Structure 1
């Protein structure tokens, strides 16, 4: 997806009426129908389940939001919306749905988010979306419950790859263990950059099953999946261990234990690498509905100085920090075994 697509998508997701119109258009199929070509209101009504009044209101919102225009007697998508629908409508719907879910949570339960994160976690629908417990099996029901959030995370990761992969210090490394690597999207980006690298993704069984099912043949000999709970399963040794957007899920104590464990599985000259968003308090701006997707996790994002201290505590030599600003600031903190 190019930057123009990203900017337009963010414009739609940030505004509540636009977000609603986008979700309704995708859910009812109106946008998919218009993506095929211009169509009259009457033809649209015949091909969708919306009543006349609802369709008129939706088309009115489309026009106001820059999604579609009326040319003569036919409605058609704007060039920007046409391009956006050409990329990946399913991924667009996943992002729109998650932003809407998160926005409802931070608006309805923002007080507990700031005062009692555990109470917020119990009340927020966001945390029921991430059904990690259902990812422990690989039956049809487990995969059905896991696929929505695993695919959503994969969508986000794919967008982050161009900016984050160059910051991961893997020069000279032969084998990477990525803990919590989801369906392998980030590992694949690293393998494309480092042609001599092999990678193992450690994640829950259902996630690994989904990742292996969409793994391109070009990575068959270089990327493998190791299914299990990272806190319990035996880790393979490697030249580097990567935690990308995963340690914020754990307490300070648990994160330190994971970093210590990683340090024990790399040789002298090997590296432990952490890539995480920084704290909300250090962000210059947090605005629009899309910010909700990060605000729901705001109590769990840490300063990179926490991870630097944890790297030192694990007995590793700290490497220079790398940072980049995407939807939020990302920091890459790494340590080398000496």
Structure 2
């Protein structure tokens, strides 16, 4: 997504009235109708599920939020909204739905988020969205339950990849194992950046099935998927192990165990690489509804020093940290086995 589209999308998602209007416009089909505009006001209603009063309210919100304009009795999308709808309306809807879900959770259960993260997980709808348990199966129902969150994560990864990919230290690496690599979006980006690289994505069965189904034919011999629980399954041989936006799902103890397993797995000269957001408390300014998408995980984002200490204690030579600021600060921590 180009910067202009991203800026306008964030503007819409950050504001409650525009977030409501965006989701309503997508869910009722009004935005789809206006995409082919200008459309007379009288012709919009019959193509949507909205009554007249509701449609007038929605069109008024569109105008206030810069999503649509009016010329006489005709309505049309603004150039900025038209660009978003043409680019990827499905991904836009996924993003809007998740921000709305997360915003409700942090507003309704913010006290438990800060005082009892496990109670927050039990109460928050966000954590019922990520149905990891359903991804253990391979049936049609398992895939149906897994696809929504796997698609959402894939969308985010596609946006982050161009900035994060060049920071991953893969010089001299022939075979990369990405643990928790979802549908392989990040791995595909790394393969594009590193011509001689091969990669294996290790994730849950339903996720791997979705990833293999979407893998470009041109990468069939360079990108493999290994289905299973990373804590139990045997890992394939490789000279680097990558954890991208996955260790924050685990406790410090579990993350340390997984990192130690990776350290023992890589050969001399091999690398263990972590790419994660930093802690919420270290962010200089946070505002708008989109922040909720990260606030739900606030108690799990860690200082990069934690990962560096674990790698150093395991005997790795810690490489210079690489960082970049996207929606939050991302840090790439890596250690080399000597």
Output the TM-score relative to the length of structure 1.
0.99
Secondary structure at the counterpart of residue 324 of structure 2: strand
Question: What CA deviation, in whole Å up to 9, does each residue of 1:125-181 have, x standing for no partner?
Answer: 000000000000110100010000000000000000010000000011100000000
What is the CA–CA distance in structure 1 between the aligned matches of 2:275 and 2:127, rounded to whole Å? 22
Three-state SS of the structure 1 residue aligned to 2:265 is: coil
Tell me what 1:29 maps to.
29
- The answer for the alignment partner of 1:199 in structure 2 is 199
1:93 and 2:97 are equivalent in the alignment? no
Matched, 1:208 2:205: no
Q: Which residue of 2 aligns with 1:131?
A: 131
Aligned to 2:250: 250
What number of residue pairs does the alignment pair up? 338
Contact 1:321 1:333 in 2 (8 A): yes
| Residue in 1 that maps onto 2:223 | 223
- Does residue 92 of structure 2 align to residue 59 of structure 1? no
Find the counterpart in structure 2 of residue 240 from structure 1: 240
Structure 2 unaligned residues grouped into runs of 5+:
none
Partner of 1:165: 165
Q: Deviations over 1:206-261 (max 9, x none)?
A: 00011111111111110010000111111112010000000011111110111111
**Offset at 1:87?**
0.9
- Is the CA contact 1:236–1:265 (under 8 Å) kept in the aligned structure 2? no
Q: CA deviation at 1:33?
A: 1.5
SS at match of 1:330: strand
SS in 1 for 2:93: helix
Q: Does 1:182 align with 2:196?
A: no
Q: Residue 123 of structure 1: CA displacement? A: 0.3
Matches of 1:192 and 1:259, distance apart in 2? 26
Moved over 3 A (4+): none
* Equivalence for 1:299: 299
- For residues 260-296 of structure 1, what are the alpha-carbon distances to aligned partners after superposition, in whole Å with 9 as ceiling and x for unaligned? 1111121111100000000000000111000000000
Q: Where do 1:301-320 residues align within 5 Å?
A: 301-320=301-320
The structural deviation recorded for 1:37 is 2.4
| Deviation of 1:315 (Å) | 1.4
- The alignment status of 1:12 with 2:5, answered yes or no, reads no
1:40 Cα deviation (Å)?
1.0
How big is the shift at 1:36?
Answer: 2.1
Residue 73 of structure 1 and its aligned partner are, at CA, apart by 1.9
Aligned to 1:147: 147
- In the alignment, the residues of structure 2 paired with residue 229 and residue 87 of structure 1 have an alpha-carbon distance, to the nearest angstrom, of 35
1:70 partner SS:
strand
Name the SS of the counterpart of 2:183 in structure 1.
coil
Residue number in structure 1 paired with 2:116: 116
Q: Distance in 1 between matches of 2:231 and 2:44?
A: 52
